[in-house]
Amino acid sequence: MIGKPKEAHISIKSGDDEWYCSSYSPDLIAEHECAGPTVIFKAYRHWREQRDGDIPIDGRYNPHIFLDQDEQRQLLHVETKRANPQNYLIVSHSAEAQTTVHCALQSLLNPLHRRILQFDLLECKETRKPLYQGINQLFDGVEATYRRVLLPVRDINGLVTKVYSVYDLIGSFNMTPLDLESI
């Protein structure tokens, strides 16, 4: 068991789309993600090591330097410089293809996914704290179960300019019917 959620479970249904999330204290990452250790554990440990009384400064926190190519597939960051989360920019790097993909958050096709991601990113940006979550979702007929941590970083002026998203896909509902409490 991962521990008691810091908040009540959140469940949202919109048409055929469903989203279920449990948020946990980031303090539980070290305890429950170290087996392996997982990419979530590595990214969070480095994030904590780069803090200096505050969240890490952008550039000082760089998960690309310690994650291998396979692990980097589980990583992306969102540029949060704009006030409106609809205008945040999702950035994903592919070391294999040596490309970077930019996607405006407002371009996500699924409206439920877009709203939830905007809310989570805005919460992470405003609280300046990591969000550690267990998620089951069904969007546009695609089912997934995964854990995710959102990690904010700041610029030299102290403003949160990026949020890194690191996830660990557990499986689909059809393949792995998991109760998030047992993760």
pLDDT tens profile 34-51: 777 889 999 999 999 999
- What domains appear along the chain, each with residue ranges and CATH number? 10-172 (3.30.450)
- What DSSP designation does 141 have? T
pTM across the whole model: 0.85
- What DSSP designation does 170 have? E
Structure tokens at 139: 């969007």
Report the 10 Å Cβ neighbour count for 139. 20
Q: Identify the pLDDT of residue 105.
A: 84
End-to-end CA distance of the chain: 6
Whether the link from the prior residue into 37 is cis, omega within 30° of 0, is yes
**37 vs 133: CA distance, rounded Å:** 17
Q: What is the pLDDT of residues 52-63, one digit of tens each?
A: 889 999 989 999
Name the residue among 55, 106, 52 with its Cα closest to residue 84.
Answer: 106
Give 7's pLDDT tier (boundaries 50, 70, 90): low
CA dihedral 128, 78, 48, 39 (to 10 degrees): 140
